[in-house]
Amino acid sequence: MSKIIKLIKKIPKAELHLHIEGSLEPELMFEMAKRNKIEISFKSVDEIRSAYNFHDLQSFLDIYYQGNKVLIKEQDFFDLTWAYMLKCRKESIVHTEIFFDPQAHTNRGIEFGLVINGIHKALLKAEKELGISSKIIMCFLRHLDEESAFKTLDQALTYKSKIIGVGLDSSEVGHPPSKFERVFKKAMKEGFLTVAHAGEEGPPKYIWEALDLLKVKRIDHGVRCLKDEKLVQKLRDEQIPLTVCPLSNIKLCVFKKLEDHNLKKLLDKGLMVTVNSDDPAYFGGYLNTNLIECQKPLNLSMEDVKKLAINSFKSSFLSEDEKKKWIDQINNLN
Ligand code: ADE
Ligand code: ZN
């Protein structure tokens, strides 16, 4: 194994863009479908995997929401989350901030509390037994209306202590951040931090709106920012984190191939870039695979890998002391 691959594997990392429902591996999906007696349109694990060919975000989301339907009981959300935390241990991910999509479940009659409790119990176990810290971010589905988002925010208030922030995901184009300005305002008043997917398929204008109207602390994806020089300048000057997901971008045809991905360009421009896996069960790999697969095509150096790992902590919602602890550890690696 080359020196740089060894570094990628062992360097402590934070993951900041991970949809927990997107970590549902076909094997577990199949097992849950069986035990919950849910009909899925696939006969085997292989058939599920071969259906994972997407041509844009929507073609993925259609399958992703189908996959969510096997998640019924608190135990299912626990098992899903625990399986991801075991991956974290293997990947040297020492801190993770995970998204969940409550509306994808409450709209099927699954209780909000059951979802958050299943996820949270697995995260507590991971903190205790694996020493991995974590935060939970609740995303609003942007293809649904403002009223549904307000209702979801209301449901979340009972579980406020377990949720650090709110985000915005699902079908981007046609659903600008401005649609949720009032919801985010209320969320901030309640003490939630804010993030939003923007500039994945949508234009730079959506990134501006996420910053100006939703007051986000991070932009999820943001790779379309390069078309707007003024925006790039702001992102650089204010060191606003971008949670970039290279394999996701390839699978969803945001870029044709990894050689075309702008990750290295963004880094070289001095932007606060991080690498993440998004929906690893659907996109062909977890965080380390994202870094490893990008390394040669984008000519990432050992210094780039260290910078990305340091950025992941700087961009996290950890305390300044915790950030420093991990960054010092990275700087002392040899
Ligand atoms: N939901 C799950 N993954 C997503 C992504 N990459 N973009 C928008 N919504 C999502
Ligand atoms: Zn995402």
| Tens digit of pLDDT at every position of the chain (334 positions) | 899 999 999 999 999 999 999 999 999 999 999 999 999 988 899 999 999 999 999 999 999 999 999 999 999 999 999 999 999 999 999 999 999 999 999 999 999 999 999 999 999 999 999 999 999 999 999 999 999 999 999 999 999 999 999 999 999 999 999 999 999 999 999 999 999 999 999 999 999 999 999 999 999 999 999 999 999 999 999 999 999 999 999 999 999 999 999 999 999 999 999 999 999 999 999 999 999 999 999 999 999 999 999 999 999 999 999 999 999 999 999 7
pTM for this prediction: 0.98
Give the distance (Å) from ligand 1 centre to CA of residue 331: 33
DSSP letter at 194 equals E
Structure tokens at 202: 């949508």
Q: In ligand 1, which atom is closest to the CA atom of 101?
A: 1
Closest CA to 99 of 182, 195, 201: 195
Q: Which atom of ligand 1 is nearest to the CA of 169?
A: 9
pLDDT for res 41: 87
- Phi, psi angle pair for 169, to nearest 5°: -140, -165
With beta carbons less than 8 A apart as the criterion, state whether 135 and 91 touch: no
In this prediction, residue 285 carries a pLDDT of 97
Residues 6+ apart with CB under 8 A from 137: 97, 98, 99, 100, 163, 164, 165, 166, 167, 195
- Residue 190 DSSP one-character state: T
Q: In whole angstroms, what is the distance from residue 105 CA to residue 124 CA?
A: 22
Between the CA of 104 and the centroid of ligand 1 the distance, in Å, is 12
Mutate to test the pocket of ligand 1, among 23, 54, 56, 57 (most ligand atoms within 8 A of CB): 57
Task: Give residue 64 CA to ligand 1 midpoint distance, Å.
Answer: 9
For residue 180 the two structure tokens come to 């949720």
Q: What's the CATH class of domain 17-290? A: alpha beta
Residues with CB under 6 A from ligand 1: 19, 22, 57, 64, 169-170, 197, 200, 248, 278-279
Position of tokens 């009032």?
A: 182
Identity of the residue numbered 116 = I
pLDDT value at residue 76: 98
Q: What pLDDT does residue 334 have?
A: 75
- Residues taking part in catalysis: 200
SS3 84: helix
Cα–Cα nearest to 166, from 187, 181, 148 = 187
Round to whole Å and give the CA distance between 15 and 6.
Answer: 18
